[in-house]
């Protein structure tokens, strides 16, 4: 008899519960309830815990006394799969939903933007994706499978995107489709005074941000038409990718993807659509030049993104794991840029990123663990348009992180552990975003008690 699966969502202090599906209970079948604890795994700054309850225990009169049938630590196998695929650990598990046949679970990690697909019966992570990073952030608030199982929709709330994972649940095949922007209210209807950008034009004219819902007519200083900027429209793209995912002699896993993506009408941040140095201005309603430097969101021609993502994990023993992740992404130069857009844009992403790590568990006694990883990001230039303090070079950096967890056996009234975490342990001062604070060594320690 196939079990039915239901879901609950829980925060550390406030429980938010939602029963996803209980038709099995109506027919007398067995079912499970999955509950996600949003707290990090004890002693770590990632992971979390999945609790699996027998539905019968929660359906009876003594539901308050129910104990979970299983506890799944999301900082172990799930984090290993995400680290191998994306180069980052998953943080803050938030919502879990199930595929149409209830054989797969889809879990969204709200803080890090990860989405993990599980074999529900085995509690085994099959694959891990990470949502698109945008100037406004990245998130995975929820990931919802389509009723027919053909795709999974992901709410990237902070990134202001709705993203899609193509799915074939029967074959355990899942393909991530990176999100592309469509014009929003700000892109279309912005009308606000901005800080002057005299550094570009050497002029004292005011700087005004305007939406491009209708486009712009460009004129010279006496009103003669010199051209136009089209109304903003959605980005369109074509993507091609080939890859391999599998195991090597049961001791290693490999995940390799090579991709090419052709973007057309790429929506960029605020850019100047006038150039007083070339006697080009935006026309007002009467067709005369506005005495201003006009900035707007525009479609920035065509560009091709090509890249490679590689993740490898090697199981030296049951207790010793090694892993590595490498990513290469490169944009070709934009083509067919509408005049008079100035070439002050940037790709906003590093060409190369890599991460190497090792985990040794139960090395001294059961429950002990040591984890070390090295991560590197190439330098890149980030341009956010008119927000000057968000523009600039992000120098490349390499940092080493480490964590240790040791059981405290002298504490007998509870299962106690001491955890020590070190970020950037060799104190390589760096930034990860223009104008962000300098990041240095961060050491933290905590004692956890499981009563």
Q: What is the pLDDT of residues 145-201, one digit of tens each?
A: 999 999 999 999 887 788 899 898 988 888 887 655 677 777 788 888 887 765 455
Q: What is the pLDDT of residue 261?
A: 80
Average pLDDT of the chain is 83
Specify whether the CB–CB gap between 163 and 182 falls below 8 A: no
The confidence band for 347, taking pLDDT boundaries of 50, 70 and 90, is: low
State yes or no: pLDDT of 244 exceeds 60: yes
C-alpha span between 322 and 130 (Å, rounded)? 21
pLDDT in tens, 95-131: 999 998 899 999 999 999 999 999 999 999 999 999 9
State yes or no: pLDDT of 240 exceeds 60: yes
Specify whether the CB–CB gap between 281 and 219 falls below 8 A: yes
pLDDT in tens, 190-237: 888 887 765 455 567 888 989 999 999 999 999 999 988 889 988 877
Find which of 21-25, 137-141, 246-250 is predicted with most confidence, using mean pLDDT: 137-141
Q: Which residue has the higher pLDDT, 222 or 26?
A: 222
The confidence band for 18, taking pLDDT boundaries of 50, 70 and 90, is: very low
Place of tokens 């550094």: 199
The confidence band for 267, taking pLDDT boundaries of 50, 70 and 90, is: confident
State yes or no: pLDDT of 265 exceeds 70: yes
pTM for this model (two decimals): 0.60
Q: What is the pLDDT of residue 375?
A: 93
Q: What is the pLDDT of residue 284?
A: 94
At 315, list the tokens.
Answer: 């199981």
pLDDT over 90, % of the chain: 33
Q: What is the pLDDT of residue 20?
A: 38
C-alpha span between 6 and 32 (Å, rounded)? 6
DSSP-assigned letters across all residues of 139-193 = ----EEE-TTSSEEEEEETTTTEEEEEEEEGGGTEEEEE-------HHHHH-EEE
Q: Which residue has the higher pLDDT, 210 or 333?
A: 210
Tell me which DSSP letter residue 389 carries: G
């Amino acid at each position: 008899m196939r079990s039915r699966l239901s879901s609950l969502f829980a925060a550390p202090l406030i429980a938010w519960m939602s029963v996803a599906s209980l038709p099995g209970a109506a027919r007398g079948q067995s079912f499970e309830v999955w509950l996600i604890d949003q707290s990090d795994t004890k002693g770590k700054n990632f992971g979390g815990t999945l609790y699996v309850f027998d539905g019968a225990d929660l359906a009876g009169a003594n539901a308050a006394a129910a104990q979970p049938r299983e506890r799944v630590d999301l900082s172990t196998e799930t984090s290993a799969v995400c680290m191998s695929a994306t180069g980052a650990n998953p943080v803050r598990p938030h919502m879990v939903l199930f595929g149409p046949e209830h054989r797969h679970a889809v879990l969204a990690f709200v803080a890090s933007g990860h989405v993990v697909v599980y074999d529900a019966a085995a509690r085994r992570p099959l694959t891990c994706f990470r949502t698109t990073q945008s100037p406004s952030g990245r998130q995975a608030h929820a990931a919802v499978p389509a009723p027919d199982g053909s795709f999974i929709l992901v709410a990237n709330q902070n990134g202001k995107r709705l993203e899609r994972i193509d799915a074939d649940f029967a074959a355990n095949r899942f393909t991530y489709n990176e999100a592309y922007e469509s014009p929003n209210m700000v892109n279309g209807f912005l009308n606000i005074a901005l800080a002057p950008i005299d550094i570009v034009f050497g002029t004292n004219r005011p700087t005004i941000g305007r939406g491009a819902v209708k486009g712009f007519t460009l004129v010279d200083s006496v009103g003669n038409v010199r051209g136009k900027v089209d109304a903003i429209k959605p980005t369109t793209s074509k993507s091609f990718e080939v890859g391999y995912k599998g195991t090597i002699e049961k001791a290693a896993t490999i995940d390799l993807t090579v991709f090419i993506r052709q973007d057309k009408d790429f929506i960029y941040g605020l850019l100047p659509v006038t150039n007083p140095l070339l006697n080009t201005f935006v026309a007002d309603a009467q067709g005369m030049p506005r005495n201003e430097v006009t900035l707007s969101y525009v479609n920035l021609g065509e560009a091709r993104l090509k890249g490679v993502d590689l993740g490898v994990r090697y199981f030296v023993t049951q207790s010793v794991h090694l892993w590595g992740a490498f990513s290469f992404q490169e944009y070709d130069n934009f083509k067919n840029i509408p005049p008079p857009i100035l070439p002050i844009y940037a790709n906003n992403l590093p060409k190369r990123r890599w991460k190497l790590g090792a985990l040794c568990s139960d090395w001294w006694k059961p429950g002990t663990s040591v984890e070390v990883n090295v991560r590197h990001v190439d330098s890149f230039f980030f341009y956010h348009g008119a927000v000057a303090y968000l523009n600039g070079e992000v120098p490349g950096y390499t940092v080493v992180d480490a964590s240790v967890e040791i059981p405290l056996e002298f504490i007998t009234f509870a299962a106690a552990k001491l955890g020590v975490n070190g970020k950037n342990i060799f104190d390589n001062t760096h930034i990860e975003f223009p104008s962000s604070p300098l990041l240095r060594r961060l050491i933290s320690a905590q004692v956890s008690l499981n009563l």
